[in-house]
Structure 1
Amino acid sequence: MVKYALIVSLLMVSFVSKGQNINAFAVAKSNRQNVLVEQGLKVTVTVYTSTWFTQPLQIENLQMEGAFVQSFKQTLSSIRYVNNKKYASLEFYYIVFPYKDGEMEFPALNIITETPAEGDYKGQRVTLSTKPFKIKVKPIPKNTDTKQWLVAKNASIESRWNNKLDELKVGDVLQRTITTRAQGTLPSFIEEPQLGEVEFGNIYTSAPKYYDERNSKSVNGRRVDKYSYLLEQKGNFTIPEIELSWYNPYVGKFYKRSVPAVDISILPNPDMANLTSLRDSLNALNPTLSEELSTATSEPNYKKWGLIGFASLLGLLALYILIKVIVRLVSSIKKRRMAYRHSEAYFFRQLMHQKNETAVLTTIYRWLDNTAFIGTKTLRAFAAKNNVLKNSLSALKKNRFSKETQQSLSLKQIKAESKKQRQKLIDSGNKKHDKRGALLKDINP
């Protein structure tokens, strides 16, 4: 029994020029028919010719609805036989990460190349296409914590403190850095670690950082979270363990790793003058925790038991309402954060941070995949009526794909003109945006 079924789409295209046939075609195949949400799917594309290739492949920008696409377009050349006939071939692949369940389509892919006809030596320009095919995306399994859902080949989690955990006293602030790594998935799919509650004080968070650590064969990610622990009570306490779980689709099992719990002893501090200012400073970094802290430290003082009982009932009602509001707020914040990671503004911000030509060109294409509300999907359409940008992008493509002498380019100018052109398109009123970019469409990095 074949463990992973292959979906193979084949289109053989013949071109006639000067009375001679060009025997060339393209094949697209997927390593799986069914995947889970956020599970990587490898799609390999192979281009064949019965002679040889005289120019590198020109591959159109791939767009897929409901999925992120990571391109690995460095081609691998080889000699293959199809129906006992010898062909030269070039192969590249994509890793597709669906982010919603249902049926997903891998679209037809157009590839331009140059190859001679049989019996000739001069390369002729031809366009080959693969046929689209369907892939079924299954939802997250039932009874699985969706907040900790991670699909990966392997994963790890580690914790690092800025100081030793001995001789602690009230008023100290501990800085903790938690690094989560995952192989075979995107960094944006790594969820925030679950710290658990502490009894000795409060925990304050900062924005996480994501790092793309892909190599030539795989997509890998790293997430770094930083926390500040304000020690407000003396005594002996335990910082709970942190557990990381992930699903390995290649063996069909869940795995776990954890950061062990830590026992600490907090000594009293005779000098408590700085505690209030420290609390205020940390609260300013995290307004939500500031409100919770204010609520927790302001207890009404009732003189009569009747009032105390009535106040307790009101407190329980307020607590219930507060919990409902917090749950909705957390859900809303998470959706907004996820929407931003999938938004046009996020990918344009990534473009502004690139430092070499190859990265700039790759990120521009990735950004164009998420510009539905701007209304342009190609470099030519994006640079329309801006000759400086059009010439710069054209030279950038030639430097990447052509064997001609490299042109000297100013990445700073390309970024500035791209930013200016993007703003013009936004101001023109063409604001058709996709579902994931809608919430943050007005952000301009």
Structure 2
Amino acid sequence: MKQMIIHGGKPLQGDVWIGGAKNSTVALIPASILSRTPVTLEGVPRIADVDNLMDLLSEMDVVSDFHNTTLRINPEHIKMSPLPSGKIKSLRASYYFMGALLGRFGKAVVGFPGGDDIGPRPIDQHIKGFEALGACVKNENDQIKITSPAEGLHGATIHLAMPSVGATMNIIMASVTAQGQTIIDNAAKEPEIIDLATFLNNMGAVIRGAGTDSIRIEGVERLEAKTPHTIIPDRIEAGTYISLAGCIGNGICIHNIIEEHLDSYLAKVEEMGVVIDATEDSLFVYPAGDLKMTQIRTASYPGFATDLQQPVTPLLLSAKSGEGVIIDQIYPKRIGHIEQLRKMGADIKVEDNIILVHPTAKLHGTTVSAGEIRAGACLMIAGLMADGTTVINNAGNILRGYDRVQEKLRLLGANVKIQDVPEK
């Protein structure tokens, strides 16, 4: 087990560089097997999920090499292999191999995905899309078995009941080599979907409308990578450091960002009183003054991202008066961090899945546990704010989503270390 130890209460300052988007990376790596030629991804974050996905690639005889921020993947000798267990259970994004394998081989056998425990996240929309393309989907022995008809997958019009990012990406990967035209209505609009479409189009796919609620895909016979693809910056990592800067910063400049990807988030933190100067690809966050409470309601992009409701919580705790309200409409059960914050002295509670936040003058260090990636980020910020020492157990969850986090925090002046401890 990984453990993060933080000696908090010290103002942080300096510069931090944002890595490539985790939520793009975990789809682009599976999508790389659609190419018949080697793939190069640049700006890849150094996170545990990348290592796990590389392990899954190796099970299919796909060779990969990760050096600095460049990941090279060679799928030329790929073999169709079931992915029933092991690493599949360690991350949610393993389900992208369903669409990628279906698009490459016309079949897939993938164990049910694992990942963060943040409440129900069904994959019925993914399955609905595969079936609309002509595939047969069966659940056998905790595995999803997907097969296309003898004549191959065919284009279809697919209306998603909700704009699911995962389902949109999976259907895109499955349909890029299907016969005819596929239309995804009520598609998710996240920047990571545009990133995936750009990657596939540069390999010869024909995808139009990514970033809108209607995406059209014309099937092609073959995809070939010809040029490196640079992954977009991680808006969730950027939002996390903005919250950190507002809570405990003494002037922090955050580099490698795309400001428009953060519009809803920036509107809320600036409403609270955080002062930010923006340049073309960086943000400077000034030391916070008297912060005001606000109400936050998560929504599909371009609304306030569910992945940022936990990292922004310590900022609300820093407000001077009033009551803050957080309503997560995407994952209302994403509340595991609340009890951990209460251990640190936070005046915060949950009523009917609504998070109510009150000003908290002091947090104190204690031992807490990171139940999932974004809860871990929240506790990390709280630990940096707190007096004394905070020990975060299950800190491996933080490493799943945050690029070189120990190194970046230390460059800002934080007293933090990550260590291995024996499992009890």
Shorter-chain TM band: under 0.3
Q: Which has the higher contact order (CA 8 A, sep 6+)?
A: 2
Structure with greater Cα Rg: 1
TM-score by length of 2: 0.24
Q: Which has the higher strand share?
A: 1
